[in-house]
Chain A
Amino acid sequence: MTTTTKAVGAPLARIEGPEKVSGRARYAAEYPVDGVAHGWIVPSPVPRGRLTAVVADPTGDTMAVLWHGNAPSLAAVDDPELAVLQSDRISYRGQPIALVVADTLEAARRAAQVLHLEIEAEEHETVLRADHPGVYEPETVNPGYPAATVHGDVETALATADVTVDVTYSTPALHNNPMEPHATIARWDGDDLTLYDSNQHPSGVAATVGEIFGVDRVHVITEHVGGGFGSKGTARPNAVLAALAARVTGRPVKVVLPRQAMFSMVGHRTPTLQRVRLAAGRDGTLSGIDHQAYSQTSRLYEFAEQTAVVTRHMYAAPHRRTGHHLLRLDMPTPRWMRAPGEAPGMLALECAIDELAEKLGMDPIELRIRNEPSAEPESGVAFTSRHYVECLRRGAERFGWSGRDPRPARRREGDWWIGTGVAGATYPTMAQPSTARVRALPDGTFEVAIGATDLGTGARTILVQIAADALDVAPERVRIRIGDSTLPRASVAGGSSGSASWGWAVTGACRSLRDTGRDEVTFDSTELVQRQETEGRHAYGAHFAEVRVDAVTGEVRVSRLFGMYAAGRILNARTARGQFLGGMIMGMGMALHEEGVLDPAMGEWVNHDLAGYHVPVHADVESIEAAWLDETDDRINPMGSKGIGEIGIVGSPAAIVNAVWHATGIRIRDLPVRLDKILDGLPAS
């Protein structure tokens, strides 16, 4: 039984594709469940205060109006946002403070709209400022890095350098907004709880919800997920509220978040203020780097975004400092959003590098190559593989960088100023313990089972490819089961680690089945994964952008966006391309469109729908391409793969911002770049 063609690497089409495009694929809220009632979440209308009473319209046709005054008590878990309806305290506007349950969605929604709430509002604070007296330094930043690092003496380096850059960049609150909103249908059968839930981690959601309700048997079904971008990484309030309401009413209950709620109770990317200082010699050699990041968290929970961590390994420099500063506000808790830390951090770092290149009169690619480190600059650990310089060089060739006039505002075509920009990309290579099971079935096929999820990334397909190669059979003979918490426990679809973590367990199970000839094997990767080093493991890449800026209106359009990556072995060329491009498009949204517009008086992002919160549309995406180097790295996991789900959003915003400068001579340091910030500075036509 030997096959020579390998499945891994082939551009296999998504195996669930036909189901999805024909509408047969079921998402959480679409399961037909007999007797299902509808829950509508009542969001707090104030950012801070106490809820003292809830009075429902007695004539309303509701089954229950739950709030802290009547809701059953729940066991506390790590995430205080899950202690729904447990206290009178209001910690942010939009926090769920009541749940209306009715026979129809419309009735529940109406009753929620006219519910009478008695609230003692308190003074609130919602604006992130670096000079706020409440700013403090956390002990660690996600997922456990030290908040501050110091090597050498950066102040002296800055004071004695030939050339310095000292700039502050800011990024606004960003909102994950997957296409499918968070949704749960909960049903109790005695003490057995079934949840149809949209999430990135069925095993985790089952464990958390079980803990909250004090039950062992929670079955989470997550067959298809319409995106998450981090916001579905753990159980969200919708899951707990649905289970709570189902328990109280004795009916299955469905809770689907309206788009407006997606801006508050399921997390967002914190706004950041970042000061970057660079010290360099005339030849571009960096002597010092300082990156200080300010971000916010809620009153409920310390979420410390690791914004400046990326600066610890990008470029060599003897004197270096990074730091993180947090402010607690009466705002929702920020959470993970695609490349948390790296995405905003690389915006500031890579724009600052571009500003240094301008000051030095040096090509920004050459400047980056000049400062290539031989090992991780702070830890001293060798990289398992790093092909950043190759990405810059090969990417520049493909993009057509050479011959670029480095001076800004030189290229004009018709009504457009044209410019190009470059920025690096990186993302850590991670893996978490997971367990997979494989069975040889009598019909000659193999069933591979693991409690993983596919957010639309192609994970399901890739696991088939990995299993096929490990079993040495054609992919058609592999059947995959994922998206169910009763399957062997898998890690979260997050941190670009899904394929590595699950693939590791699947490889282990399949190889063992093949080698031992047994007809069922369960493999737990915990020991192997934990034996690994965690430092020196990163994927790298380079982003190139060409933008057009309208000479009349200042409107910015991206005419070309290109990413060149070195991300280990690419497991499926088709789905990988989708991941890279998706990240780059989201990076374009971060650069040009996306912004949670805060009204400090209301304590809320007021543009909370997709007409007001702009993400790129098709017409914005003109020419966009991704390519990759063949990178071999046999020290990271059995597949030699690095995570690719997030790297596309890392650095692509900086490439665009740098290109806007090159087109117009205008440095926009507060994102997003929009025409109102450009207009007054446009060069005379």
Chain B
Amino acid sequence: MKTFAYRTAVTPADGLEPGAVFLAGGTNLVDLMKLGVATPDVLVDVNKLPLDEIADLPGGGLRIGAGARNSDVAADPRVRRDFPVLSEALLAGASGQLRNVATTGGNLLQRTRCRYFMDASKPCNKHTPGSGCPARDGDHRDLAILGASASCVATHPSDMAVALAALGATVRVDGPAGRRVIPVTGLHRLPGDTPERDTVLEHGELITAVEVPPLPFAHRSTYRKARDRASYAFAVGSVAAALDVHDGVVRDVRLAWGAVAHRPWRAFAAEERLRGRPATRAEFTAAADVELAAAEPLRDNAYKINLLRRMTTAVLERLAEGARR
């Protein structure tokens, strides 16, 4: 492990100096440091900043502090009641021990699990720009089918972020250029030809909170995750959805997918297609297909198209059934 300095952040500006990186739960960053993939000069520990509150927003939304632990957010009664999709997504991730230390900010900014990225001895455009992308011809069963580029086919691995994308959440950021608010769907970039940059954040920008706006029909929302073992596995495909059905017609819908792209994938085209249509199985599948039309699978991950089509249909059907009861 490269020698580094360690400091406790007292103000958000403490992350400013070159080579400094924020340390939250450390469950992703420290692993990458041991592997020699992350080599920060300075670790700025943000755990002492007062960022762990979960507060009510006017109108029924929530502000979740960037330091709030995944376990605490998942267990929060307001989250469970008003935004079950978020609680379910969190509980579907990692393990109890990890969730107890993992933070909201760290979870959003966790890096891809692409196996080449996690190995400094291998080429990878994300950890060593210009070195190539061996995943394209190599192991990519778990990687992206949407929005990828010739330089990178990595996926963002978070479950929580998929739920937040569906809920239309925003990220509050504090940095050298002041404060700004970024939609979760706009936080992560598509790889293009600069896959080394995961997000639109600038160096030194600290996430202070995530805001979930009021969304009354989200009390009927859910997260479904397909994975290779029953627990403690990243998604091979996941669906976050909320559905508002009136008289058998879709009044509104929120749909996002995980493990398919470099960012949590909000299925805007599918949502658009569904609004005002009958809440039927055939329509749900048709909507999924509209979104999946853009998919560009590789040799070993085309199964994700069928998987997402089936899961989306099943999840929306289940929500629609719930609405009828």
Contact = CB atoms under 8 A, between A and B. Distances in A.
A606 B229 contact: no
Which among A593, A609, A676, A680 has the highest number of chain B CB atoms within 10 Å?
A: A676
B228 A674 contact: yes
Given A553-B311, A602-B134, A676-B141, A110 B227 contact: no
A532 interface: no
B59 interface: no
Q: How large is the interface on A (under 10, 10 to 19, 20 to 34, 35 or more residues)?
A: 35 or more
Contacts of A602: 122, 134, 138
Contacts of B76: none
B68 to A, nearest CB: 24
A113 B36 contact: yes
B229 A597 contact: no
B177 interface: no
A592 interface: yes
A600 B314 CA distance: 37
Given A607-B115, A675-B307, A679-B310, A614 B229 contact: yes
Contacts of B118: 609, 612
A109 B39 CA distance: 13
Which among B113, B119, B120 has the highest number of chain A CB atoms within 10 Å?
A: B119
A226 interface: no
Interface in B133-189: 134, 137-139, 141
B121 A680 contact: no
A593 B229 contact: yes
Interface stretch (B41-49, B210-218, B230-238): B230-238
Q: How large is the interface on B (under 10, 10 to 19, 20 to 34, 35 or more residues)?
A: 35 or more
Interface stretch (A268-276, A296-304, A616-624): A616-624
A599 interface: yes
Given A676-B236, A676-B303, A601 B120 contact: no
Given A606-B115, A607-B115, A557 B230 contact: yes
A592 B228 CA distance: 8
A110 B314 CA distance: 49
A45 B303 contact: no
B307 A679 contact: yes
Interface string B289-325: 0000000000010010011001100100000000000
A191 interface: no
Contacts of A597: 115, 139, 141
Given A606-B116, A679-B306, A553 B138 contact: no
Contacts of A611: 113, 234
Interface in B84-115: 113, 115
A675 B138 contact: no
A601 B1 contact: no
Which among A113, A616, A618 has the highest number of chain B CB atoms within 10 Å?
A: A113
B11 interface: no
Contacts of B119: 260, 606
8 contacts: A597-B141, A600-B138, A607-B115, A611-B234, A619-B230, A675-B226, A679-B306, A680-B306
Leading 10 A-B pairs by shortest Cβ distance:
A619-B230, A619-B231, A676-B303, A599-B138, A553-B226, A606-B115, A113-B36, A552-B314, A620-B230, A106-B1
